Every structure is written in structure tokens, then in C-alpha cells.
With several copies, the nearest count.
Chain A
Amino acid sequence: MKIVMAIIKPFKLDDVREALTAAGVHGMTVTEVKGYGRQKGHTEIYRGAEYAVQFLPKLKIEVALPSDLAPAAVEAIASAARTGEIGDGKVFVVPLDHAYRIRTGERDADAI
């Protein structure tokens, strides 16, 4: 099993969720994060003080899934989240050893 973890632009969430659903993924967890990368930030000015804001708001999506579904999920996310502009984000795939569903105690493939 894998965890597919994607960093995307916030307004792409609905598109990504729909693409994942279409790809057969029916659960995910989303976190508000701040990203630093090539995309340049902006300057904020508060009276005398100017701040270069380098961290930009992003969303992190985590999806646990069977390994064979991972490529399709990555593809679904990537195509739904793409705008072509810098800062579109990343998709990472990390190994997942075990999964449990708390409500039922189901495990691994049954749990996700």
C-alpha cells in the first residue's frame, strides 16, 4: 500500500477530489499548509515594516491506497491540479505498511 501525498493550490481542491473519486479513491485527508519553493511570494507592508512573505498557502492531500491504484491516483491529481503556472505543487508517494479502520477494526486493503 502507498500513501499518495500531494501539495496543491488551494482552489484546485474540488477538481482534485472529483478526479480522485473518478479514479476510484473514496477517502482522503486534507491539511492546510504553507509552501516554499520556486513560486515567489509577495511583500507585505505594515506601517514602517516591510515583510517578504515567502510561504504561500497550499493544501496537502493524503490518500492511502493499494499500491496498484497509486499511479492512477497520481495521474488524476496531477492532471486535475495542473494550471501550468509555477507553484502547482508536487505529488509524493510513500510506502504504507498497515492500515486500520477504527470503527470496524478492518485492516489494510479493507480499511481504505
Chain B
Amino acid sequence: MKLVPLSRTAWVAGLGLLGVIALSTMALADTVAAPVPNKGDTAWMLTSSALVLMMSVPGLALFYGGLARTKNALSIFTQVFAIVAMVGILWCLYGYSIALGDTSGPYVAYIGSLGKAFLKGVTPDSVVATFSNGVVIPEYAYMVFQMTFAMITPALIIGGLAERTKFSAIMLFIFLWVSLIYFPIAHWVWAVAAPDDVAAAAKALAAAATPAAKAAAQAKLDSVTSAAGWLAQAGSLDFAGGTVVHINSGIAGLVGALIVGPRLGHGKESFPPHSLTMTMIGASLLWVGWFGFNAGSNLEANGATALAFVNTMVATCAAALSWQFVEWIVKGKPSMLGLVSGAVAGLVAVTPASGFAGPMGAIVLGLIVSPICFFFVSVIKNKFGYDDALDVFGVHCIGGITGALATGILVNPVLGGVGITDYTNFAHGNAGTYDLVTQMIAQGKAVLATLLYSGIGSAILYKVVDLLVGLRPKPEAEREGLDVTDHGERAYNY
């Protein structure tokens, strides 16, 4: 997800240069053959998609479910699994089209259109662009990879609602949330112009002989480069979803925790995790699957993919250790839950940075994110008394913000980052040159926009759902546990 459209004027000016290069390399074959997918890329994208599904089920289900009490374990599993299933269908029906598939229509900076609703026109031969010129992958592979992101993001939210929200309310809320909040935000950040389209438009512009042709070509080029989400156009860097996935779900979870209110007995009874074994399995599978999430986000299998993979590995290691040592010092004992919480915090933080930072930057990011998240889950949460049951705010939102902002710093080549190096970097003057202030403004814009849109939007949706079906079960039902009252089952019958 490393496309970084700069401001429109920068584009336009820069594309002349690109056009010349493009022209010269294409001189021999004017009617250049359409690129076909490389099978290594296809294999990697399918593998990545399977890995990201594994993050949700069983990964997230176990990570969250293990932290719940026995009487609510199944309710967590069911919610995660059902959300995944529902969003998979919604993605095919209209989500893909409006988020990424059809970037046309009057409000294209904010939302796409329905031209690919029901996957209309997508065939085994359809391809989509990657971030490299001349490299494409099967559209089905792209569509399903992005589907898995749309599946896991809303499932993260339930961390804030766990153990006290009705299943029917959760399903209705997520249906609305994914449609009205996730799909647009994914569009804002990840809907970008295909490199080859930009190159072709630039080439046409360069070749235009008459002023009229030039103007027409320029208009075409403008339309290509402006068919992107507004945050993408603003130059925000978010490789694999720091804002779209983690800040987005984390703030929605916090708002939910506040609106639904704390669990019965909160602050009085103890709510120890019913199975840290499950939480450990979940965290491990999240880690393994996250390679699909982050390294898959490069959309092809090359050296940059390997860098994203490495960053995902080392930031996680660093954050796991960091959380553990902070806890060791502050609380006197290094807990396993702390260790794996740190790992997840590291994964969250490195998500936006994974394709941009260098490994040493990723390690530093990992070392930093854990103390911050630790502070939120152990001090801020207690101080304010909100019941973010499974710490989706403290880990995902805070970790996501840390990562999103750090990305703006760590991309700096001086710090080992890759710089602003992708196909947009041909522009005049400072285009493609890293500038801390510019970049941090772009990052901050994305963070703020996500916090506000998702925070306010989620609040409205919770209220709507509360009116329609009621968010909270009866106290007796909550006491008895949602497994029996919502689902008529118990997790264990030893």
C-alpha cells in the first residue's frame, strides 16, 4: 500500500520526465503487450490472503477469546467468525466496488462507485496494477486479499464491547460500520491510480504535438492522478493499515466501551483471562499471519516485500521484549500476557511502517510502542475507568497512532528508511524528497481524520443500534454468560 500520490501540481510537472523515460523504453513496441501476472506474485498474494484469514480465525478469535471469562469464550469466537463471514459477502456485493474496485464517480476522493458491485466484470483474466510499472496480479487475488482486511478490522472492535454486548447488536452494528465507515476510509487511503495508467497518460502528454492535444492529454493525466482517495492524495503513508485498520477499529472500540458501559462487577470482581494458552496461540498466529498482512501489502514478491517481512519480524520481537522489561521493572514480574501484548503492539505499530522503515528503525519503533501502550492499558484505562475489556483502544488505536506517526519519521533514508521512492518520485524540486514537516502533517491528517470520522460515526451507529435492537443483554443474562444466553452452548464440558 505504498502509493504516495503527491499534490496534483507536483504530479503534473513530474510526469513529463516519466513520459520521456517511458517513451524511450517503449520505443520498439508501440503497441505494448498487456502485462500478465507473474506466477510468483500470484502465489504470494494467495498465500498472503490465506495468512490474513488465519489472523482472524483462529488467530484473533483465540487471542480475544482466551482473555474473556469461560462463560463468554464462545461469544467472542462466534462474533469474530460471524463478522468474518458477513463481511466476506458484503465485500463481494458492494464493498470491493465502492472501496477499491471502481474508482470512478463524482465523489471519488471520498468513495468509489458501484460498477463492480456483485463483482461485475471480474474474471480470471482480469488484472490489477501493483506498485511497480508493468507488474500486475489477478484481480481475484487482489480482491480477496483486500477482503481479508475488511474482515479482520471490524472484528477487532469487539475487544471494546466484549462480555456484555448482545450478538444481534454486534452483527447489526458491524454491518453498518463496515459499510459506512470502513469502506470509505479504506478508499480514502488505498484507492490510488495504477502506475501504468499514470505512465501511459504521461507518455501521451509528452507525445502530444498540438496545444489541443496537449490540453486533452493533460486533462486525461489530471483525471488519472485525481482518481484517488483524498488521504492518498494528501501523501499520507500507510503501508498496510495503521490508520485504516488499527486506529479505525481501536477508536470505534473505545467509543463502544464508553457507550455500552462497563461489565457488571467491573472494578470489583476480578476478570482473569480464562485461558492464556489460547491467547498465546492467538498471538502467535496473529504474528505468523501478519506477514501476509504486511508483506502481502506490497502486492508482489520482491526485495521490498522481504523488507516488509523483516520489519514485521523485528518490530514484533523488539516490542515483545520491551513490554516484558517495562512490566518486569514496573510490576515486578514479566508476564506472558505482557510479552504477547507487546508482540501485538509491535505488529500494530509496524503495520503502517513495514514497507517504509529500515529494520533498525523498525526495532526502535518496537521498543517505543510497548511502553506507550503499556501506559495506556495499565494507567490511563484505570484512571478513566472505561472498560476496554480486551484493550483494543490501548493496543490497536494507540499502537496504530504511534506507528502512523513514526512512519513519517522512519521513512527518512537517513534513518535507514526507504525514502519517498515509489513511482511518484519523478517530480520537480522537492517531490520525492523526504521532508519531515510535510510528511508529519500528512500523517497527522490521516490520524486525525480517522479518529474523528470513525469516532463520531461509530457513536452514531451505536446509538442507532441501541434503539433498534438494544446493545446490552439483561443483567441476569450477562451474569450467566453470553455463551449460554446468546448461543445456547458452553465452551467446555470437561
The interface of chain A, by Cβ under 8 A from chain B, is: 11, 14, 42-51, 85
Q: Are A48 and B381 in contact (CB under 8 A)?
A: yes
| Smallest Cβ-Cβ distance to A48: which chain B residue | B378
Beyond A45-B338, A50-B331, 16 extra complex contacts between A and B, CB < 8 Å:
A11-B265, A11-B269, A11-B479, A14-B268, A44-B488, A44-B489, A45-B333, A46-B272, A46-B273, A46-B335, A47-B337, A47-B377, A47-B394, A48-B381, A48-B382, A85-B476
| B-side contacts of A42, CB under 8 Å | 480, 484-485, 488
Q: How far is the CB of B319 from chain A (nearest CB, A)?
A: 15
- One of A11, A14, A45 near B489 (C-beta < 8 A): A45
Q: How far is the CB of A16 from chain B (nearest CB, A)?
A: 13
B103 within 8 A of A: no
List 25 A–B pairs whose Cβ atoms lie within 8 Å, in order of A's numbering.
A11-B269, A11-B479, A14-B269, A42-B485, A42-B488, A43-B488, A44-B272, A44-B489, A45-B327, A45-B331, A45-B335, A46-B67, A46-B272, A46-B337, A46-B489, A47-B337, A47-B341, A47-B377, A47-B378, A48-B377, A48-B381, A48-B394, A49-B270, A50-B331, A51-B272
Interface range, B side: 20 to 34
Nearest 10 Cβ contacts at the A-B interface: A48-B378, A51-B270, A48-B377, A45-B488, A47-B377, A45-B331, A42-B484, A48-B381, A44-B488, A48-B382
Q: How far is the CB of B423 from chain A (nearest CB, A)?
A: 43
B490 within 8 A of A: yes
As a 0/1 sequence over residues 384 to 403 of chain B, the CB contacts with chain A under 8 angstroms (1 = contact) are 00000001001000000000
B271 within 8 A of A: yes
Q: How far is the CA of A49 from the CA of B489 in the complex (A)?
A: 11
Q: A49-B271, A51-B270, A51-B272 are known contacts. Are A44 and B484 too (CB-CB below 8 A)? A: yes
Q: How far is the CB of B44 from chain A (nearest CB, A)?
A: 35
| A-side contacts of B265, CB under 8 Å | 11
| A-side contacts of B335, CB under 8 Å | 45-46
Q: How far is the CB of A91 from chain B (nearest CB, A)?
A: 21
| A-side contacts of B67, CB under 8 Å | 46
Q: How far is the CA of A1 from the CA of B235 in the complex (A)?
A: 79
| B-side contacts of A45, CB under 8 Å | 327, 331, 333, 335, 338, 488-489
Q: How far is the CA of A42 from the CA of B490 in the complex (A)?
A: 11
Q: How far is the CA of A11 from the CA of B268 in the complex (A)?
A: 11
The residue among A11, A43, A45, A46 with the most chain B CB atoms within 10 A of its own CB is A46
As a 0/1 sequence over residues 321 to 349 of chain B, the CB contacts with chain A under 8 angstroms (1 = contact) are 00000010001010101100100000000
Q: How far is the CA of A54 from the CA of B444 in the complex (A)?
A: 47
A-B contact count (CB 8 A): 49
Q: How far is the CB of B476 from chain A (nearest CB, A)?
A: 8
Q: How far is the CB of A46 from chain B (nearest CB, A)?
A: 6
Q: How far is the CB of A59 from chain B (nearest CB, A)?
A: 13
Q: How far is the CB of A83 from chain B (nearest CB, A)?
A: 9
Q: How far is the CA of A49 from the CA of B265 in the complex (A)?
A: 14
Q: How far is the CA of A47 from the CA of B335 in the complex (A)?
A: 9
Q: How far is the CA of A88 from the CA of B335 in the complex (A)?
A: 29
| A-side contacts of B394, CB under 8 Å | 47-48
Q: How far is the CA of A14 from the CA of B267 in the complex (A)?
A: 13
| A-side contacts of B381, CB under 8 Å | 48
Q: Are A47 and B338 in contact (CB under 8 A)?
A: yes
Q: How far is the CB of A22 from chain B (nearest CB, A)?
A: 17
Q: How far is the CB of B338 from chain A (nearest CB, A)?
A: 7
Q: How far is the CA of A51 from the CA of B271 in the complex (A)?
A: 9
Q: How far is the CB of A10 from chain B (nearest CB, A)?
A: 9
Q: How far is the CA of A45 from the CA of B341 in the complex (A)?
A: 13
The residue among B341, B377, B488 with the most chain A CB atoms within 10 A of its own CB is B488
| B-side contacts of A49, CB under 8 Å | 270-271
Within 8 A of A (CB), among B203-217: none
Q: How far is the CA of A51 from the CA of B331 in the complex (A)?
A: 12
Q: A11-B265, A11-B479 are known contacts. Are A44 and B377 too (CB-CB below 8 A)? A: no
| Smallest Cβ-Cβ distance to B330: which chain A residue | A45
Q: How far is the CA of A48 from the CA of B395 in the complex (A)?
A: 12
| Smallest Cβ-Cβ distance to B67: which chain A residue | A46
| A-side contacts of B338, CB under 8 Å | 45, 47
| Smallest Cβ-Cβ distance to B71: which chain A residue | A57
Within 8 A of A (CB), among B454-491: 476, 479-480, 484-485, 488-490
| Smallest Cβ-Cβ distance to B488: which chain A residue | A45
Q: How far is the CA of A14 from the CA of B270 in the complex (A)?
A: 10
Q: How far is the CA of A44 from the CA of B382 in the complex (A)?
A: 16
Q: How far is the CA of A85 from the CA of B381 in the complex (A)?
A: 33
Q: How far is the CA of A46 from the CA of B327 in the complex (A)?
A: 11
Q: How far is the CB of B395 from chain A (nearest CB, A)?
A: 9
Q: How far is the CB of B177 from chain A (nearest CB, A)?
A: 25
Q: How far is the CA of A33 from the CA of B67 in the complex (A)?
A: 24
